[in-house]
Amino acid sequence: MLTKIYAEVCVNIPALKTNKPYHYSIPENIKDILSPGHKVLVPFGNTNAEGYVVGFTEKAEVEDVKGILKIIDRQIVIPAPLIELAKWMSRRYLCPLAKILECIAPSGIKTRTSQIITLRHEKLNDKFMQDIQCYAPLQWRIINLLKNSEKGLLEYKTLKRELKNKNIYSSLRKLEEKGIVHIDKQEKTGVKRKLVKSATLLYDSSVMDFGTICDEYGIKSSIQKKILKEILNRKEISLVELSTILGISYSGVYSSAKALEKRNIIKLENKEIRRDPYMKPYENPANLTPTDEQKNVLELIDECLERVNGQKILVHGVTGSGKTEIYLRAVEKILNMGKGAIVLVPEISLASQIVESFKNRFGDLVAVLHSRLSAGERYDEWRRILDSEARVVVGARSAVFAPVKDLGIIVVDEEHENTYKQEEDPKYHAREVAEKRIELEKGLLVLGSATPSIETYYKGKRGEYIITNLKKRVNNRPMPVVELIDMRKELKSNNKSIFSRRLHSCIKQALKNNEQIILFLNRRGFSTFILCRDCGFVMKCPHCDISLTYHFDTKDLKCHYCGFEKKVPDFCPQCKGSAIRYFGIGTQRIEQEIKKFFPDCRILRMDMDNTRKKGAHERILETFKKRKADILIGTQMITKGLDFPGVSLVGVITADTSLNLPDFRAGERTFQLVMQVAGRAGRGDVPGRVIVQTYNPRHYSLQHAVNCDYKNFYAKEIILRERFNYPPFSEMANITIKSQEEEKVKVCAIQLGAVIKEKFAKLWCIMGPSPAPIYKLRDKYRWQITIKGKSLDGLEPLLEFKRGIIEKYSNVSIDIDINPIFSL
């Protein structure tokens, strides 16, 4: 253990380009308690800044070391293993530590300093206080604003705003000199604990009943009587609740309660309540007896838990094999061992079903974290975890940072999903971070998937993970029958509809049998490009190198990358002709076609366009689950993990969208997609049927998907990966240079490329610089450099090169993405 002489503090100014922690001396009074993960206030430049203690050192780098001013939060905000994890991430993803810590601690706990101006009440009655003659006009206005404020105090910012005057500071100083006001600094957190006014009875209700109190105190007001009655019933009740129960306005309740308080009958207090994003009542958990296959996996998990040192398991189980039940039981074991658990799920639409299972099983011990929570909800859930009130965290990728103490297990459900990769800085992969965290905390990692990523399965084959299988569906339900439909033949037979004859008749049959249908297409909107048939002009986004998508509901053309919108022109902007035609299909088009062919069926659509609002996902899925709709049409959001027993038919409108992506993962994506979509069929008593339409029926991904044959798909894919030296046989770093100035990007890219080649060419294969596949995006031109090699250890100098370029050229930004999922 190092002697604590200096603290290493990572100052929380994300704009700061340096990655190094700063050294501060430690005042004696906090020396014993100060630990890594404490949030502290330190002098920084001309101001004070907050930061996190990330370590200790015996030698300071500079001579003139300043001291820590104070500990902001007594509680350790970032537990030690997470500090270690952050340092590792900073090296792995070439991202400043401050940025990573910012991502680990929710925004709510960040504090800002504000100045509070308080009127000195003891001076209020002084003569000169009342004498306008004593003050300059601005000073007089300040005094009156303060007098009229609720508590006789105002924030500096508010005062400034009220007075529409930037130069009030000297006036305030003068008032302070005269002893009229105080100017104080106050730290405020962005999000506060939520407080509500609650009333409690000051009497023992068994001694004095309602009648006695009313008589004794002569309570006549009927509102006061009603309030008193409720309080007698409940001992404690919030005023908001009272107002709802009694149907009286809040202010009405408040004034009557105040009157009761004045007579010392009740007490009014601010009580903290937690914002609870999960508003459903818990249901009784299903009591399931594990199947033999589930038992085997659980026994294996038991064995691993006995060993406790960073074990890793891949649960490769077909869709519907009951993986959730395994997670639940594994987590239960962990809780019994006194440890905590994190369960990562790819998306919140999916989470809602799994959240339900966990909430039903473990109740309030479960905290839910995901990006759709409000800042306040997020803060409260996070606090509950930090205080160990919640021991199980279910959430999307950033939940991997949840400050769970004594973490025993991380489950990554649907580990192959792309949503685990964060596309903004820090560009981490949650599965990889989970793996590292488990190593640091010596827990158990459980990855689950029906279609494991090639990387994960490869690691399993090499012995880094224990692979365990669930080959059968629960209750021996059969795997769905998958059929490929060759759309070229449809065209030849003169069927120009987007539905093949086979899919059409299956939809008809399913509707007739009262069974539900899912139709999948990975493109939202109505048509994906519009073209003038006379001159060949394609409508493109003026800000991006992307064709615009037509949206039927709003009659708009939209850019799916930057959000640009415009009305559909009546004439071609180029040749002024009127032969504008729509090509490519999106989910809205399917909706319209279905309406045309099956006018009586009830349709739901689910894609990015109609799920932006909070709760929209859940509402659509609820409706479908309750069988209030026959057909659900959607993008990839509907492929994942959903369990709808009523669905007997799944149609993939075209498998070619993902097959034709210019990406080495196209084959893997397509296989996963068809398998996942297929997994939605036949989960109830009716066997499932899956119809996949394609122009490439011979493609190996589709051929193996038809047979639900992961092993042979993997065997074929891994050979291709090795031959072309793609992951998992190599690692890649993608560097994107961006600027609004076309010439400048090119110059920078070439310069950066030269530096990289000079330093790294011996170690790694370097491709580019060259214009990016999408050359222009959101008005920025883009060039790329790709570095590929066995391992990317030792890439840190790249951060220095990047800094060199950015400092030299203005308006240029450089993105570094380690093992990118998509390369735009």
Q: Which residues are annotated as a binding site for Zn(2+)?
A: 532, 535, 541, 544, 559, 562, 572, 575
Q: Which is nearer to ligand ADP, 80 or 474 (CB)?
A: 474
> Which listed range, 14-22, 299-307, 527-535, 538-546, lies at the site for Zn ion (CB under 5 A)?
538-546
Name residues whose C-beta falls within 8 Å of residue 329's C-beta, 6 or more positions apart in sequence: 290, 298
Q: Identify what 219 binds: ligand ADP, Zn ion, none; CB under 5 to 8 Å per kind.
A: none
What are the two backbone dihedrals, phi and then psi, of residue 8, each rounded to the nearest 5 degrees?
-90, 120
Using CB under 6 A, pick the residue from 290, 310, 569, 684 that binds ligand ADP.
290
Q: Which is nearer to ligand ADP, 286 or 308 (CB)?
A: 286
Q: Identify what 564 binds: ligand ADP, Zn ion, none; CB under 5 to 8 Å per kind.
A: Zn ion
Q: Identify what 544 binds: ligand ADP, Zn ion, none; CB under 5 to 8 Å per kind.
A: Zn ion
Quick note: the x/- pattern for ligand ADP over 221-240, rule CB under 6 A, is --------------------
Q: How far is the CB of 333 from ligand ADP (least distance, A)?
A: 16
> 3-class SS at 640?
coil
Site residues (CB under 5 A) for Zn ion, limited to 317-376: none
Q: How far is the CB of 167 from Zn ion (least distance, A)?
A: 43
Strands 444-449 and 311-317: parallel
| Separation between Cα atoms, residue 602 and residue 591, nearest integer Å | 10
Contact between 372 and 381 under an 8 Å Cβ cutoff? The reply is no
The total number of residues written for the chain in this structure: 824
DSSP 35-94: -TT-EEEEEETTEEEEEEEEEEESS-SSSSPPBP-EEEESS-SS-HHHHHHHHHHHHHTT
Q: How far apart, in Å, do the first and last CA atoms of the chain sit?
A: 47
Using CB under 6 A, pick the residue from 288, 575, 715, 774 that binds ligand ADP.
288
Contact between 607 and 552 under an 8 Å Cβ cutoff? The reply is no
With binding defined as CB under 5 A, does residue 543 bind Zn ion? yes
| Separation between Cα atoms, residue 414 and residue 641, nearest integer Å | 8
With binding defined as CB under 6 A, does residue 325 bind ligand ADP? yes
Name residues whose C-beta falls within 8 Å of residue 583's C-beta, 6 or more positions apart in sequence: 527, 528, 529, 530, 531
Q: Which is nearer to Zn ion, 520 or 550 (CB)?
A: 550
Q: Which is nearer to ligand ADP, 353 or 657 (CB)?
A: 353
Using CB under 6 A, pick the residue from 319, 522, 549, 587 that binds ligand ADP.
319
> Which listed range, 81-89, 278-286, 417-425, 558-566, lies at the site for Zn ion (CB under 5 A)?
558-566
Q: Which of 444, 433, 363 is nearest to 411 (CA)?
A: 444
| Separation between Cα atoms, residue 19 and residue 16, nearest integer Å | 8
| Separation between Cα atoms, residue 360 and residue 103, nearest integer Å | 29
Cis, bond preceding 79 (omega within 30 deg of 0): no
Using CB under 5 A, pick the residue from 544, 580, 681, 798 that binds Zn ion.
544
Q: Which is nearer to Zn ion, 537 or 561 (CB)?
A: 561
| Separation between Cα atoms, residue 681 and residue 643, nearest integer Å | 9
Using CB under 6 A, pick the residue from 30, 129, 300, 474 that binds ligand ADP.
474
Using CB under 6 A, pick the residue from 12, 171, 198, 291 that binds ligand ADP.
291
> Which listed range, 135-143, 269-277, 320-328, 456-464, lies at the site for ligand ADP (CB under 6 A)?
320-328
Q: How many CA atoms lie within 13 A of 350 on its CB side?
A: 23
Q: How far is the CB of 416 from ligand ADP (least distance, A)?
A: 13
Q: Which is nearer to ligand ADP, 396 or 485 (CB)?
A: 396
> How far apart, in Å, are the Cα atoms of 816 and each of 434, 729, 738, 773?
21, 20, 11, 16
Using CB under 6 A, pick the residue from 39, 274, 316, 323 that binds ligand ADP.
323
Using CB under 5 A, pick the residue from 60, 134, 562, 747 that binds Zn ion.
562
Q: Which is nearer to ligand ADP, 14 or 684 (CB)?
A: 684
Count CB atoms within 10 A of the CB of residue 96. Answer: 21
Site residues (CB under 6 A) for ligand ADP, limited to 613-672: 643
Biggest CA–CA distance in the chain, Å, is 100
Q: How far is the CB of 778 from Zn ion (least distance, A)?
A: 6
Contact between 236 and 268 under an 8 Å Cβ cutoff? The reply is no
Helix (H) or strand (E) holding 753: helix 742-760
Q: Identify what 320 binds: ligand ADP, Zn ion, none; CB under 5 to 8 Å per kind.
A: ligand ADP
Number of residues that bind ligand ADP (CB under 6 A): 16
> Which listed range, 74-82, 322-330, 432-440, 618-626, lies at the site for ligand ADP (CB under 6 A)?
322-330
Q: How far is the CB of 322 from Zn ion (least distance, A)?
A: 44
Q: Identify what 129 binds: Zn ion, ligand ADP, none; CB under 5 to 8 Å per kind.
A: none
Contact between 630 and 511 under an 8 Å Cβ cutoff? The reply is yes
With binding defined as CB under 6 A, does residue 452 bind ligand ADP? no
Q: How far is the CB of 777 from Zn ion (least distance, A)?
A: 7
For residue 527, the 8-state DSSP code is: B
For the record, the structure tokens of 251 come out as 């202010």
> How far apart, in Å, are the Cα atoms of 381 and each of 332, 370, 386, 402, 790?
20, 10, 9, 10, 41
> Which listed range, 246-254, 287-295, 461-469, 491-499, lies at the site for ligand ADP (CB under 6 A)?
287-295
> Which listed range, 439-447, 555-563, 746-754, 785-793, lies at the site for Zn ion (CB under 5 A)?
555-563
Site residues (CB under 6 A) for ligand ADP, limited to 419-448: none
| Ramachandran bin of 414, using left for φ above 0, alpha for ψ from -120 to 50, beta for the remaining angles | left
Q: Identify what 406 binds: Zn ion, ligand ADP, none; CB under 5 to 8 Å per kind.
A: none
Using CB under 6 A, pick the residue from 81, 106, 317, 426 that binds ligand ADP.
317
Binding site for Zn ion (CB under 5 A): 541, 543-544, 559, 561-562, 564
Binding site for ligand ADP (CB under 6 A): 286, 288-291, 294, 317, 319-325, 474, 643
